[in-house]
Amino acid sequence: VWTLGVEGLGDEQDKLVTIDVNPKSKTYSKVVSVLSVGGRNEAHHSGLSDDRHYLWAGGLDSNKIFIFDVHTNPRKPTLHKVITDFVEKTGGIVGPHTFYALPGRMMVSGLSNNKDNGGRTGLAEYNSKGEFVASHWLPTDGDLRGAKKEGKFADGYGYDVRVQPRRNIMLTSSFTGWSNYMMDFGQMLQDGEAMKRFGNTMVVWDLHTRKPKKVIDVPGAPLEIRCAWGANNNYCFTTTALTSKIWLIYEDENGEWQGKAVADIGDPAKVPLPVDISITSDDQGLWVNTFMDGNARYFDISDPFNPVQKYGEEIGGQVNMISQSWDGKRAYFSTSLLGNWDKDSNGEMQWVKLYEWDDEKLELSHKWTVDFYKEKLGRAHQMRFGAYSLYSSKTDNKKEVTLLDK
What's the number of domains the chain is made of?
A: 2
Residue 184 has, within 13 A of its CA and on its CB side, a CA count of 5
CA distance 46 to 57: 4
pTM greater than 0.75 (yes/no): yes
pLDDT at 320: 98
To the nearest 10°, report the CA torsion of 198, 201, 206, 211. Answer: -60
pLDDT at 392: 58
Local confidence pLDDT in tens for the 406 residues of the chain? 999 999 999 999 999 999 999 999 999 999 999 999 999 999 999 999 999 999 999 999 999 999 999 999 999 999 999 999 999 999 999 999 999 999 999 999 999 999 999 999 999 999 999 999 999 999 999 999 999 999 999 999 999 999 999 999 999 999 999 999 999 999 999 999 999 999 999 999 999 999 999 999 999 999 999 999 999 999 999 999 999 999 999 999 999 999 999 999 999 999 999 999 999 999 999 999 999 999 999 999 999 999 999 999 999 999 999 999 989 999 999 999 999 999 977 667 899 999 999 999 999 999 999 999 999 999 999 999 876 666 555 544 455 444 444 4
Report phi then psi at 180, rounded to 5: -95, -50
Domain check: are 59 and 117 in the same one? Answer: no
Q: Tell me the CATH number at 119.
A: 2.130.10.10
Which domain covers residue 69, as residue numbers?
A: 1-84+376-406
Domain check: are 192 and 115 in the same one? Answer: yes
CA distance 33 to 20: 9
pLDDT at 103: 95
pLDDT at 346: 62
Domain check: are 20 and 76 in the same one? Answer: yes
pLDDT at 396: 44
CA distance 328 to 285: 10
CA distance 241 to 320: 12
Domain check: are 70 and 12 in the same one? Answer: yes
Domain check: are 390 and 349 in the same one? Answer: no
CB 34 within 8 A of CB 15: yes
Domain check: are 75 and 94 in the same one? Answer: no
CA distance 176 to 86: 19
pLDDT at 405: 45
CA distance 96 to 113: 10
Domain check: are 306 and 214 in the same one? Answer: yes
Domain check: are 46 and 151 in the same one? Answer: no
pLDDT at 391: 59
- Among the residues of 252-368, which ranges form H helices? none
Domain check: are 106 and 73 in the same one? Answer: no
Residue-wise pLDDT for 139-156, tens only, equals 999 999 999 999 999 999
71: left (phi over 0), alpha (psi -120 to 50) or beta: alpha
Among the listed residues 342, 226, 201, the one whose alpha carbon sits nearest the alpha carbon of residue 287 = 226
Domain check: are 260 and 358 in the same one? Answer: yes
Residue 287 has, within 13 A of its CA and on its CB side, a CA count of 30
Domain check: are 42 and 124 in the same one? Answer: no
CB environment 93-121: b (16+ within 10 A), e (fewer): bbbbbbbbbeeebbbbbbbbbeeebbbbb
CB 161 within 8 A of CB 123: yes
Domain check: are 136 and 16 in the same one? Answer: no
